[in-house]
């Protein structure tokens, strides 16, 4: 049983590795303006989009111009989506006659999907009309993913000495060349596996016992594919990808896992092509991969060994199957849980609240680090922020001016890098401390003790990291939770994006320095090992007290 479970995990990861260079090379060609197979079909479509959008001129932007374009478009889309959610009662495609959301729930939902977080404090099948699910949320899932991807590409351009590009062009090409084609093909495949795609209302059936049952359905397949491919994670149904209409079988489960990780992993390869240094890209890729495999292994062993308190009661050793879909079992649920928090997707095919402490530790650590594999586009940027800090630290140790890709790392770059890394703990720890100070009135903790601490911190870590998953059990659809997590989502998304773009702009303006015998090599195993150490030291030490009071203490409590 254990061999079969780990074999499933290994084969899935082999597929991910095989896809990485193929998709990475394609994305590089798209954003380098090189010819692709889709050019004859999409060139004319993109020209129409540019004309309708008033983009007659598509000049390269500076860092501030790129950041302002991100903010302007996001605010406009957010207002539109909020109005749709608040007006759904009088709009079409509402066969179940759902009314408007409460204002704070609608605001939280809008900000959540706008920031690529997709944290949900509502149940989709009993709250939102088909128009809201499609025109508001699915629309935002495409645009938020494309925004992150565009920012990541602009950052890569800046690091490699190129101009940042044009945001409107990048976001358009992200959708038309990458997200939309893969989503269409993926949605069709999911339909063949039994995922519904319909605007028919909830179906009423009579069970064999004579009872009445209401079966919710809707345009699920199109929603599901972009939810995973775009690292969105919000579920059409409350059970998310544990629901059989979102994830019917093991094949759909495999497809959805591959969709989750394909773009974040391939972006590292894309960077290697931009930098003309595939050796460095592969070294960083394997560093991230090893960290990921270790976290999967630790979590999988914990789930396979099961809960000693339960096993001791029943007198039988068995895996921890509580909160898991038996269709997928302990191995695929563990892989999904670690992957969804590593990629900042947030979709779930089992309840994270039911994970053993090892799994809780790994999922939290993923969201604290944000680079294994990281969010759509921005995760790759975070990875290279750590690389820049490593260059700076090692450069100071040997008494040389730090350089990366032939460009000096100076005060301005370190200020931006520090801001990017410090804003996350602020957005997580400050509101967590406030909520924990009022465990009943604000936090609404359902599990006292160490697990209750993890519940609260997880919610804010998920919000700030734009992940969206939750340990559940919190009374989170309240004014406090809706507004406080919305605050964490906003500062966790936009302050790093602005800083990333300004850092990239600063790098692209620097004159390249000639390489000398004393130049630090960043494409060596030694440097990547030091980078891994910097990532773990900075990431783990920043949040270690929280980890110690949460999953680590819980593990000791169970084991004693």
Q: pLDDT per residue over 407-426, tens digit each? A: 888 889 999 999 999 999 99
Task: Give yes or no for residue 515 having a pLDDT over 90.
Answer: no
pLDDT at position 291: 95
In whole angstroms, give the CA distance from residue 538 to residue 417. Answer: 13
Measured from the Cβ of residue 35, the count of other Cβ atoms closer than 10 Å reads 9
Percentage of the residues of the chain whose pLDDT score is greater than 70: 98
Smallest CA-to-CA distance from 197 within 183, 186, 187, 185 is with 187
Mean pLDDT to the nearest integer, 276-286:
95
Q: pLDDT-derived band of residue 560, with 50, 70 and 90 as boundaries?
A: low
In whole angstroms, give the CA distance from residue 449 to residue 515. Answer: 56
Task: Give yes or no for residue 159 having a pLDDT over 70.
Answer: yes
pLDDT at position 534: 92
Distances (CA, A) of 213 to 127, 196, 202: 18, 18, 10
Residue 481 lies in a domain: yes
Smallest CA-to-CA distance from 404 within 506, 497, 540, 519 is with 519
pLDDT at position 64: 96
Structure tokens at 208: 């064999």
For 502, counting Cβ atoms within 10 Å of its Cβ (0-12 exposed, 13-18 middle, 19+ buried), the class is: buried
Helices (H), ranges, 61-194: 63-86, 103-114, 130-131, 139-159, 167-173, 180-192
In whole angstroms, give the CA distance from residue 243 to residue 283. Answer: 38
Q: pLDDT-derived band of residue 522, with 50, 70 and 90 as boundaries?
A: confident
Q: How far is CA 221 from the centre of its chain?
A: 20
In whole angstroms, give the CA distance from residue 345 to residue 470. Answer: 12
pLDDT at position 14: 95
In whole angstroms, give the CA distance from residue 487 to residue 186. Answer: 33
Task: Give yes or no for residue 296 having a pLDDT over 90.
Answer: yes
Pick 74 or 448 by higher pLDDT.
74
The position carrying tokens 């260079």 is 21
Q: pLDDT-derived band of residue 521, with 50, 70 and 90 as boundaries?
A: confident
The position carrying tokens 């209401």 is 214
In whole angstroms, give the CA distance from residue 527 to residue 389. Answer: 12
Q: Residue 384: CA atoms inside 13 Å, Cβ hemisphere, count? A: 30
Residue 464 lies in a domain: yes
pLDDT at position 45: 87
The position carrying tokens 């702009």 is 505
List the Cα angle 465/470/473 in 5-degree steps.
150
pLDDT at position 1: 61
Residue 549 lies in a domain: yes
Task: Give yes or no for residue 312 having a pLDDT over 80.
Answer: no
Structure tokens at 95: 């066969």
Helix axes 450-464, 357-369, angle to 10 degrees: 30
In whole angstroms, give the CA distance from residue 331 to residue 324. Answer: 10
pTM of the model: 0.94
pLDDT at position 375: 86
Query: Number of folded domains in the chain?
Result: 1
449-483 pLDDT tens trace: 899 899 999 999 999 999 999 887 788 889 999 99
Measured from the Cβ of residue 521, the count of other Cβ atoms closer than 10 Å reads 10
Structure tokens at 380: 């790759």
Residue 550 lies in a domain: yes
Range of the domain at 447: 371-559
- Name the average pLDDT for the chain: 91
Q: Cis bond leading into 67, ω under 30°?
A: no
pLDDT at position 313: 76
211-245 pLDDT tens trace: 888 899 999 999 999 999 999 999 999 999 999 99
End-to-end CA distance of the chain: 27
Q: What is the per-residue DSSP string for 129-166? A: -HHIIIIIIIHHHHHHHHHHHHHHHHHHHHHTT-----
Residue 504 three-state SS: helix
Q: pLDDT-derived band of residue 56, with 50, 70 and 90 as boundaries?
A: low
Residue 504 lies in a domain: yes
Q: pLDDT-derived band of residue 268, with 50, 70 and 90 as boundaries?
A: very high
Residue 150 lies in a domain: no
127-146 pLDDT tens trace: 999 999 999 999 999 999 99
436-456 pLDDT tens trace: 988 777 777 877 789 989 999
Residue 378 lies in a domain: yes
Residue 335 lies in a domain: no
Q: pLDDT-derived band of residue 54, with 50, 70 and 90 as boundaries?
A: confident
């Amino acid at each position: 049983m254990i061999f079969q479970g780990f074999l499933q995990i290994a084969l899935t990861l082999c597929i991910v590795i095989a896809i990485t260079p193929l998709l990475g090379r394609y994305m590089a060609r798209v954003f380098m303006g090189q010819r692709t197979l889709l050019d004859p079909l999409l060139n004319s479509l993109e020209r129409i989009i540019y004309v309708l959008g008033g983009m007659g001129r598509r000049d390269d932007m500076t860092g501030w111009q790129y950041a302002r374009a991100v903010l302007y478009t996001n605010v406009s889309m957010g207002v539109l989506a909020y109005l749709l959610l608040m007006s759904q009662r009088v709009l079409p495609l509402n066969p179940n006659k759902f009314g408007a959301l409460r204002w704070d729930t609608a605001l939280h939902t809008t900000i959540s999907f706008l920031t690529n977080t997709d944290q949900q404090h509502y149940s989709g099948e009993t709250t939102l009309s088909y128009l809201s699910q499609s025109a508001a949320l699915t629309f935002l899932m495409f645009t938020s993913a494309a925004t992150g991807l565009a920012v990541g590409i602009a950052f890569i351009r800046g690091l490699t000495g190129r101009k940042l590009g044009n945001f409107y062009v990048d976001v358009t090409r992200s959708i038309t060349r990458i997200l939309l084609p893969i989503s269409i093909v993926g949605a069709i495949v999911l339909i063949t596996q039994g995922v519904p795609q319909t605007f028919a209302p909830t179906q009423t059936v009579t069970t064999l016992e004579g009872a009445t049952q209401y079966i919710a359905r809707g345009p699920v397949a199109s929603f599901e594919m972009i939810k995973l491919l775009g690292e969105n994670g919000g579920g059409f149904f409350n059970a998310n990808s544990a629901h059989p209409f979102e994830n019917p079988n093991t094949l759909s489960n495999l497809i959805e896992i591959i969709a989750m990780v394909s773009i974040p992993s391939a972006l590292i390869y894309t960077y290697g092509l931009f930098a003309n240094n595939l050796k460095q890209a592969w070294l960083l890729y394997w560093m991230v991969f090893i960290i990921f495999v270790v976290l999967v292994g630790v979590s999988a062993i914990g789930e396979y060994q099961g809960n000693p308190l339960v096993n001791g009661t029943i007198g039988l050793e068995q895996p921890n199957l509580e909160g898991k879909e038996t269709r997928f079992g302990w191995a695929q649920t563990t892989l999904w849980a670690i992957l969804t928090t590593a990629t900042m997707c947030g979709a779930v095919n089992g309840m994270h609240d039911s994970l053993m402490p090892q799994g809780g530790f790994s999922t939290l650590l993923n969201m604290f680090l944000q680079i294994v594999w990281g969010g759509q586009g921005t995760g790759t940027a975070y990875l290279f922020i750590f690389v820049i800090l490593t260059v700076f630290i090692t450069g100071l140790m040997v008494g040389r001016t730090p350089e990366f890709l032939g460009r000096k790392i100076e005060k301005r770059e370190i200020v931006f890098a520090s801001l990017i890394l410090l804003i996350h703990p602020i957005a997580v720890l400050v509101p967590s401390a406030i909520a924990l100070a009022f465990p009943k009135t604000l936090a609404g903790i359902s599990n006292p003790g160490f697990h209750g601490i993890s519940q609260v911190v997880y919610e804010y870590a998920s919000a700030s990291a734009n992940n969206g998953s939750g340990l559940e059990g919190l009374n989170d659809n309240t004014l406090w939770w809706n507004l406080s997590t919305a605050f964490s989502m906003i500062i966790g998304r936009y302050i790093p994006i602005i800083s990333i773009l300004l850092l990239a702009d600063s790098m692209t303006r620097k004159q390249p320095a000639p390489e000398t015998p004393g130049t630090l090599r960043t494409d060596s195993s030694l440097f990547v090992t030091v980078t891994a150490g910097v990532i773990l030291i900075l990431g783990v030490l920043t949040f270690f007290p929280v980890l110690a009071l949460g999953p680590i203490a819980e593990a000791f409590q169970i084991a004693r």
